[in-house]
Amino acid sequence: MAVIAILALTVVCIPGILAQTPDTSHVQVERQLIHNAAARLLREESSLLSKECTKVVHLLWEYNTNITAYNKEEMLKAQLNYAAVQKESWRRVQKWTKVRILLKDQYLERQFRELAVLGSTALPEEELRDYTRVITEMSTIYNTAKVCSYHDPSKCDLTLSKDLSEILKTSRDNEELKYIWKTWRDNSGKLIRQHYRDFIPMANKAAKINGFANQGDMDISAYETEGFRQEIAAVWEQLKPFYEQLHAYVRRKLREVYGEDVISERGPIPAHLLGNMWAQQWLVYDIASPYPNKVSLDVTPQMIEQGYTPKKMFELSDDFFASLNLTRMPDSFWKHSLLEHPGDREVNCHASAFDFCNGEDFRIKQCTKVNMVDLITAHHEMGHIQYYLQYKHLPYAFRNGGNPGFHEALGDTLALSVSTPKHLEKIGLLKEVQEDYEVDINFLLQMALSKIAFLPFAYAMDSWRWGLFDGSIPEKDWNCAWWDLRYEFQGIKPPLLRTEDDFDPGAKYHVASNRAYIGYFVSFIIQFQFHKALCLKAGQYDSEDPSKPLHKCDIYESVEAGNALGDMLQLGSSKHWKEAMSVLTGEEGKMDASVIREYFKPLEDWLREDNLKHGEFVGWRPDGQYCVYKAPSNSQ
Ligand code: KAW
Ligand code: ZN
């Protein structure tokens, strides 16, 4: 009877019925029916959400590759429409809340759980409109900010991606660097501060509707890890002694160039001298190379000499993926991606990878320049697309990385192989590298300037945001708290006194566009774990064999490695990340800083000795005041 009754009812009524169903012999049949109904519902939601997602991603693409007022409005409309569809879907899914546990099907249960968190979409319509608008406004300020030239003040069209990054990387003129550093912040972050004031309470309200204390907690829920913040803190503690050695060494090298007036012996490093607008990766290999007479591992000059184009850089990356038996980019990728600045319009030049949610259309937007940093970024973005390709068969709810750090780690993992001197030689970007200890140290230093220097930056970024979201950093301290964290974690300071009229975190893309950052921290740890697992599969690494250290491994052309990687990627977010990780590593999945430490061990030993030899003070002490609430009346 119960079976017939259930059959006669529509799917919508099933959850209510099941809760009352007695535990009879029919239970199994009933369960099967309910299971089928749940599976059907999830299939339908997946199909609907995918279709609507395709529509909104088209408009996101249009706006981000052509910033106009019209495209902005169209995008906002589409985002609100998508939110309405998500909400409707969420309501249907919610009806299963009590019943779904009885399904005893992990795969379905996990989809239900994913679809049960709406994120910012949970805001009431009017508030969602304001919230979406404020983020768009902040991003637009960031993406369209311009700066006047230091050498020609009448030329005022300098942009971050075309001009400023290059100046930071190549100029070694203290005054020019200081000017660019300050003006970028005046013309971006400073204008964003007022909007951030509106943004914080709205973000927190959305988090609360979802059952979280604040937006920071909602962001880290993606890691499904109790004590996530403590784990991050522990990982950082493990790496801090090495970072301090690197910091002391680079400070000495910079001091030799800029003098003690600019860089004090025991103080933090001025942030404008590290070759990057945010001092997040230290592009000062020219100054810091341990053995400058040995071959330079920055292959930018060779790329230019050999006539590399942005397209060729992505093709190189595509070849690497294909060599691992992973998937090549489809034709539509090459047809529709925007791989360089089109020159005739405003675009959002921060690199990103788009999934159009239809299993066919995947694109990259990157204002690529021909240099080594952008070659690595190209691999990074291609990693996102490869992940999309590997999990495209999964339902909508699972088309995600194992955790956000996984998505960020894939391309970088491959780039660890690409960057090795041997691989660069293989692809003709280096000539006859005679590998010896000194080349090894040069190489590891270059890697450390991007991998190790980055970690405390990423940690400071989200520590700052977590403080804003949980209210422990009040608005009157926003900018000074930022500099306290930058001092504490990175040992850097601003080149000139900052105040609460400034908003320096807003001069970074991920703050202006509200993208969580801790995923990059996680990525920079786990990419070394992935690398090690792949190198073992490729027979390129042996912990017992000194001729096969981790930092020399190149997994190019290893089908075994690629297949193992593919097995993990194909899971998307259908399994907990720890389980996905163990599919690749064969060990218990966890964040493990000992692997990155092992990779850099020869350099760490070298730095320790070099700092000792030069009597360099390791660590930093305050050497002045960096930030005040209001500018003193005699300043500026
Ligand atoms: C970095 C990472 C790897 C290698 C070198 C690096 N240098 C600096 C970083 C960290 C960070 C940064 O520039 O500060 N890198 C990026 O922001 C690269 C851009 C992205 O690929 O991570 C992009 C950022 C983004 C997120 C959301 C909307 C728009 C842009 N992320 C993605 O495109 C993406 C795609 C799929 C899933 C998750 C993120
Ligand atoms: Zn990324």
CA of 38 to the centre of ligand 2 (A): 34
Ligand 1 binding pocket includes 380 (Cβ within 6 Å): yes
Q: How far is the CA of 441 from the centre of ligand 1 (A)?
A: 28
- Taking phi over 0 as left and psi of -120 to 50 as alpha, with beta for the rest, 106 belongs to alpha
The two three-digit tokens of residue 115, written as one number: 């679809």
Ligand 1 site, residue 419, Cβ cutoff 6 A: no
Phi-psi region of 325 (alpha: psi -120 to 50; beta: other; left: phi over 0): left
342, exposed or middle or buried, with CB in 10 Å at 0-12, 13-18, 19+? exposed
The pair phi, psi for residue 627, each rounded to 5°, is -150, 135
167 alpha carbon to ligand 1 midpoint, in Å? 22
The ligand whose atoms approach the alpha carbon of 367 most closely is 1
DSSP 147: B
Output the CA angle 45-48-52, nearest 5 degrees. 135
Whole-prediction pTM: 0.96
Cβ 349 under 6 angstroms from ligand 1: no
CB 365 within 8 A of CB 310: no
Ion ligand 2: residues, CB within 5 A, are 408
Nearest CA to ligand 1 atom 36: 384
Residue nearest to atom 24 of ligand 1 (CA): 352
Q: Is the dihedral of CA 273, 277, 281, 286 positive or negative?
A: negative
Q: Which of 30, 45, 52, 381 is catalytic?
A: 381
CB 481 within 8 Å of CB 257: no
- Answer whether 391 contacts ligand 1 (Cβ < 6 A): no
Q: Is 363 in the pocket of ligand 1 (CB under 6 A)?
A: no
Query: How far is ligand 1, taken at its centre, from the CA of residue 512, in Å?
Result: 14
Q: Whose CA is nearest to atom 28 of ligand 1?
A: 352
Rounded distance, CA 562 to CA 43, Å?
Answer: 30
Q: Summarize pLDDT for 140-186 with one digit per residue, the tens.
A: 999 999 999 999 999 999 999 999 999 999 999 999 999 999 999 99
**Residue 349 pLDDT more than 90?**
yes
Reply yes or no on whether the pLDDT at 48 is more than 50: yes
Residues 6+ apart with CB under 8 A from 482: 460, 464, 504, 505, 627
CA distances from 68 to 2, 63, 348 (A): 59, 7, 11
Q: Using alpha carbons only, how large is the chain's radius of gyration in Å?
A: 26
Q: What is the pLDDT of residue 22?
A: 53
> C-alpha angle 509/514/520, rounded to 5°?
70
What integer pLDDT is reported at residue 633 of this predicted model?
76
Is 252 close to ligand 1, i.e. is its CB under 6 Å away? no
For the cut 60, the answer to whether the pLDDT of residue 49 exceeds it is: yes
- Cβ 353 under 6 angstroms from ligand 1: yes
Ligand 1 geometric centre to CA of 260 (Å)? 36
Active site residue 73: no
Instruction: Specify the pairing of strand 352-355 against strand 362-365.
Output: antiparallel
Share of the chain above pLDDT 90, in %: 91
Q: What is the mean pLDDT of residues 316-329?
A: 98
Tally of CA atoms within 13 A in the half-sphere of 631 that contains its CB: 9
The string of pLDDT tens digits covering residues 304-316 is: 999 999 999 999 9
Question: 31-35, 152-156, 266-270: lowest mean pLDDT where?
Answer: 31-35
Q: Is 281 in the pocket of ligand 1 (CB under 6 A)?
A: yes
Q: Which candidate in 384, 407, 510, 531 is catalytic?
A: 510
Nearest ligand, measured from the Cα of 377: 1
Nearest-CA residue for ligand 1 atom 18 is: 351
Burial 547-562 (b: 16+ CB within 10 A, else e): eebbbbbbbbebeebb
Helix spans in 146-214 (H): 165-170, 174-187, 189-209
pLDDT tens-digit series, residues 440-483: 999 999 999 999 999 999 999 999 999 999 999 999 999 999 99
404 token code pair: 């956000």
Is 26 one of the annotated active-site residues of the chain? no
Centre of ligand 2 to C-alpha 310, Å, is 18
